[in-house]
Amino acid sequence: MSARAGVPEGYVALEDGGTRGALLAALEQPLRAAIASGTFYAYAERHAERRALAGRGVAYAVPLPACAARVVVRHSRHGGVFAPVTGDLFLGDTRAPRELAIAIALTERGVPTPEIVAYATYAAGPFRRADVVTREVPRSRDLAAALADPDAAARDEAVAAAGRLLATLAAASVYHPDLNLKNVLLSRAEGGGTKAYVLDVDRVHFHPAAEGARVSEWNIARLVRSGDKWREQHGLPFEARTVRALRAAMEAP
């Protein structure tokens, strides 16, 4: 495998025939062992210890070979009305390199998002397919699952954590145009407390600091729209008091 320029600091290039990508240098060897299966997704899909995660297609949580690190492997797919036509085929280098760059930028700005440890894109005629590998966040579930919890205190804690995440996004002037209940990941700390992470960041936009208040309203409007849809379609308890609690957590000092 030859080196390729353009990968972020702390990563090494992946280039092998029609496969291109980037690997976190600290996990290079186990990641190379995983992709020896052909693709990262093939490795995860066949792993005896895989744990399926629902989303836009199935992602898998798995351990890396001969390594304590656990990761989530997601195969990139289009969303929206044209998804049945475009499927998992992308022009150019796919959205994966941009997703890595944005994830790094978010972390630098103090916005919690799972660490991307690798991505790989694969030749498919004139198109490419892609897998993105993130470090697994322990003891986690998305906001939709948390709001379905029968424990009212657990639901309140989840909403407060989501509100704090919205405040962090606003402070960094970050707009997420697909911010929905499935794209907020909540992790329960061993010592108590819940931390929220933002997912699927490839379409995130960074705005000037002066636009933080406007970005804040865009983000909460997008999340509330998702919550309303989940209430109507799945009976999720996303109500006016939920929105008030979100705003209160956003505005807390």
CATH number of the domain residue 162 falls in? 1.10.510
By the 8 A CB rule, do 174 and 215 touch?
Answer: yes
Query: Do 119 and 165 belong together in one domain?
Result: no
Query: Do 72 and 179 belong together in one domain?
Result: no
Q: What is the pLDDT of residue 247?
A: 96
Task: Judge whether 9 lies within some domain.
Answer: no
Query: Do 125 and 166 belong together in one domain?
Result: no
Query: Do 104 and 216 belong together in one domain?
Result: no
Give the 3-state secondary structure of residue 46.
helix
Query: Do 148 and 123 belong together in one domain?
Result: no
- Domain C-terminal end among 107, 135, 163: 135
In single-letter form, the type of residue at position 40 comes to F
Query: Do 129 and 18 belong together in one domain?
Result: yes
- Domain C-terminal end among 135, 156, 185: 135
Task: Judge whether 246 lies within some domain.
Answer: yes
Give the 3-state secondary structure of residue 221.
helix
Q: What is the pLDDT of residue 225?
A: 97
Q: What is the pLDDT of residue 189?
A: 84
Query: Do 62 and 110 belong together in one domain?
Result: yes
Give me 27's structure tokens.
Answer: 């996990």
Cβ-in-10-Å burial (0-12, 13-18, 19+) of 55 comes to: middle
Distance CA 50, CA 179 (A): 27
Query: Per the structure, how many domains does the chain have?
Result: 2
By the 8 A CB rule, do 129 and 92 touch?
Answer: no
Query: Do 92 and 22 belong together in one domain?
Result: yes
Q: What is the pLDDT of residue 190?
A: 78
Task: Judge whether 199 lies within some domain.
Answer: yes
Task: Judge whether 7 lies within some domain.
Answer: no
Task: Judge whether 86 lies within some domain.
Answer: yes
**Residue that the structure tokens 């998002």 belong to:** 113
Give me 21's structure tokens.
Answer: 């990508």
Q: What is the pLDDT of residue 192?
A: 80
Extract long-range pairs of 20-28: CB within 8 Å, 24+ residues apart.
20/93, 20/120, 20/121, 21/96, 21/118, 21/119, 21/120, 21/121, 22/97, 22/100, 22/118, 22/119, 23/117, 23/118, 24/115, 24/116, 24/117, 24/118, 27/64, 27/67, 27/69, 27/117, 27/118
Q: What is the pLDDT of residue 1?
A: 33
Q: What is the pLDDT of residue 57?
A: 77
- Domain C-terminal end among 116, 135, 154: 135
Tally of CB atoms within 10 A around 151: 10
Query: Do 77 and 160 belong together in one domain?
Result: no
Single pTM value for the model: 0.92
What is the chain's pLDDT, residue by residue, as a tens digit (253 residues)? 333 457 999 999 999 989 999 999 999 999 999 999 899 999 999 999 999 997 667 999 999 999 999 999 999 988 766 566 678 899 888 999 999 999 999 999 999 999 999 999 999 999 999 999 999 999 999 999 999 999 999 999 999 999 999 999 999 999 999 999 999 999 998 778 899 999 999 999 999 999 989 999 999 999 999 999 999 999 999 999 999 999 999 998 7
Query: Do 145 and 123 belong together in one domain?
Result: no
Task: Judge whether 8 lies within some domain.
Answer: no
Task: Judge whether 155 lies within some domain.
Answer: yes
Supply the range of the domain harboring residue 149. 140-251
Q: Which of 215, 218, 223 is nearest to 198 (CA)?
A: 223
Query: Do 129 and 148 belong together in one domain?
Result: no
Give the 3-state secondary structure of residue 198.
strand
Task: Judge whether 37 lies within some domain.
Answer: yes
Query: Do 29 and 99 belong together in one domain?
Result: yes
